[in-house]
Amino acid sequence: MDWSKAKTILILAFLALNAFLADQLLQAKGEQAQKQEVSRETQQELQELLDKRHIRMKVDLPKKAFPVTSLDAKPLELKTLHEQDSRWESTAEGSYRLTLEAPWPSKQLEKLLQQTVPGFDQYRKSDESDPDQLVYYQHHDERPIFDSRLLVTMKDGAASKLELYPLKIQTDNNTSQTGLSAQDALVRLIATGMIQKGSTVVDVTLGYHGRPSYEGEDRVLYPVWKIETQQAAFYVNALTQEIEPITVNKRYF
Residue bearing the bigger pLDDT, 238 or 215: 238
Q: Are residues 6 and 61 in the same domain?
A: no
CA 191, CA 205: separation in Å to the nearest integer? 20
What integer pLDDT is reported at residue 185 of this predicted model?
Answer: 97
What integer pLDDT is reported at residue 171 of this predicted model?
Answer: 74
Residue bearing the bigger pLDDT, 238 or 33: 238
- Among residues 141, 171, 201, which one ends one of the domains? 171
pLDDT digits (tens, 9 = 90+) for 151-192: 999 999 999 999 999 999 987 766 788 999 999 999 999 999
Q: Are residues 66 and 93 in the same domain?
A: no
Q: Which of 30-39, 199-208, 220-229 has the lowest mean pLDDT?
A: 30-39
Q: What total number of domains does the chain contain?
A: 3
CATH number where 141 lies: 3.30.310.160
pLDDT digits (tens, 9 = 90+) for 68-109: 999 999 989 999 999 999 999 999 888 999 999 999 998 999
Residue bearing the bigger pLDDT, 45 or 252: 45
Q: Are residues 131 and 181 in the same domain?
A: no
Q: Are residues 19 and 77 in the same domain?
A: no
Bridge partners, residue 172, by sequence? 71
Bridge partners, residue 140, by sequence? 143
Chain-centroid distance of CA 118 in Å reads 20
What integer pLDDT is reported at residue 212 of this predicted model?
Answer: 64
Q: Establish how many alpha carbons lie within 13 A of residue 42's alpha carbon, considering only the half-sphere containing its beta carbon.
A: 19
Q: Are residues 79 and 139 in the same domain?
A: yes
Q: What phi, psi does 119 have (nearest 5°)? A: 65, 35
Q: Are residues 98 and 159 in the same domain?
A: yes
What integer pLDDT is reported at residue 135 of this predicted model?
Answer: 97
8 Å CB contact between 238 and 68: yes
Q: Are residues 83 and 54 in the same domain?
A: no
Q: Are residues 94 and 131 in the same domain?
A: yes
Q: Are residues 44 and 102 in the same domain?
A: no
CA 228, CA 151: separation in Å to the nearest integer? 20
What integer pLDDT is reported at residue 174 of this predicted model?
Answer: 65
Confidence tier at 36 by pLDDT (50, 70, 90)? confident
Q: Does residue 6 register a pLDDT over 90?
A: no
CA 35, CA 64: separation in Å to the nearest integer? 9
Q: Are residues 108 and 159 in the same domain?
A: yes
- Among residues 171, 197, 224, which one ends one of the domains? 171
Nearby residues of 234 by Cβ (< 8 Å), 6 or more positions away: 189, 194, 195, 226, 227, 228, 243, 244, 245, 246
Degrees (nearest 5) of the Cα angle 247, 252, 253?
75
Q: Are residues 159 and 187 in the same domain?
A: no
pTM of the model: 0.81
Domain ranges, residue 164: 73-171
Q: Are residues 56 and 167 in the same domain?
A: no
CA 25, CA 19: separation in Å to the nearest integer? 10
Confidence tier at 28 by pLDDT (50, 70, 90)? very low
